Amino acid sequence: MGSSESTQNARSKEGNDSGRSGSGEELRTENRDEVTGSDIAKVALTVVAVGVIGYLSSLGSSESAKNRKTMKAPGRDYRIFRDDFEDDPAGGAFIGNGSFGSVNFVIPRNTHFLQSPTVVKSAHVFKSSTLENEYDVLDSLGFCPQIITCFGHDSTFEHGEEYYNLFLEYAAAGSLADILKTRRRGFSELEVRRYTKSIVEGLRHIHARGFVHCDVKPANILLFENGDVKIADFGLAKKAGEKQRNCELRGTPMCMAPESVNANSYESPVDIWAVGCTVVEMVTGKPAWSFKEGSNVFKLLIRIGMGDELPEIPDELCEDGRDFVRKCLVKDPSKRWTAEMLLKHPFVANEALMMSPRCHFDFPDLNSTEAKGFLVVDTFVS
């Protein structure tokens, strides 16, 4: 593969960490009843908080867990390649940008230093609070097969500026959102079952350790070449029970739970609601809520937080799957199923139905054109 084509394919993943919700996809829209001024007033502060928190955020493998550590100074064991620096000797090592900063490949000088393909999230030290929070959470969570592995963190001086760097394992197949966008349709039911089980297993670990992810969505679920599915992007995660500040909003509106809209509440049930929304999107290839990009976010939040409306459960999903989603999309968080309970649900608990290829290349409906960009890592890591 040529370097220009590698660059193009690598850049296609740039939205993974940007906090988008179905960006670039055509969303459905419906006519709804008129919203009263009183309704809008109830959620106006919440919507404003989306922009406020976005601004504040801008300021602010199995053996890998055993090797987690603070990285050494650049020039000794690794090098970060950045396309925006003039002395970058390797084109195509840039992956993408997010609200936190940039994502680039890391090239180890010592082959024993990084034992698997690695990327680095970087942000200016004055805008690194989200990345620092992500490191703290991942370090506290410890190893889990369904959670992205963190290799460590450090600070570097580049062109006279100090940057905070977070080192993570590289998911060559991209996010579920990337793949859905490429396919322009949903996953098969077998794939949905497998991915859902991995997501819920990851959430069980997160919740058991006393944390809430707060931003579960297809863009934050990564797929690896061996078939593993892992939860990523913990920049908005928080400790369970930790009091929220006023006007603090976390997550993506399309997957936001009613209690988050109504009461600014972010505890473990919000992740379960997001699982339900994610399953719907995996099946249909479209967000759970019918909402056209650029439409009035006030109305969407009112639909989520007020009344009895729920996302439509796709007819093509089997009855077990429909029941699983219903257990997630319960307005009252105290009645919503937990991750532990969901893992006993027949939609994901039936091991006989979980048999599948261990590599996404084994699926016949993923053609070589879609898959060729996933091999770009071979260009950079030896």
**Annotated catalytic residue within 215, 332, 362, 365:** 215
Do 288 and 311 contact (CB within 8 A), yes or no? yes
Do 177 and 218 contact (CB within 8 A), yes or no? yes
- How far apart CA 365 and CA 181 sit, in angstroms, is 14
The residues, any chain, with a CB within 8 Å of residue 214's CB and separated by 6 or more, are 236, 237, 238, 250, 251, 266, 270, 271
The residues with which 118 forms a beta bridge, in sequence order, are 169
The answer to whether the annotation marks 13 as part of a ligand binding site is no
Tell me whether residue 378 is one of the annotated catalytic residues.
no
CA-only gyration radius of the chain, Å: 20
The residues, any chain, with a CB within 8 Å of residue 87's CB and separated by 6 or more, are none
* Residue count (the chain): 382
**Run of H or E including 6:** helix 3-11
- How far apart CA 233 and CA 216 sit, in angstroms, is 9
**Residue 147 DSSP class:** B
Please enumerate, by residue number, every residue annotated as part of a binding site: 121
Q: What residues are labeled active site?
A: 215
Please enumerate, by residue number, every residue annotated as part of a binding site for ATP: 121
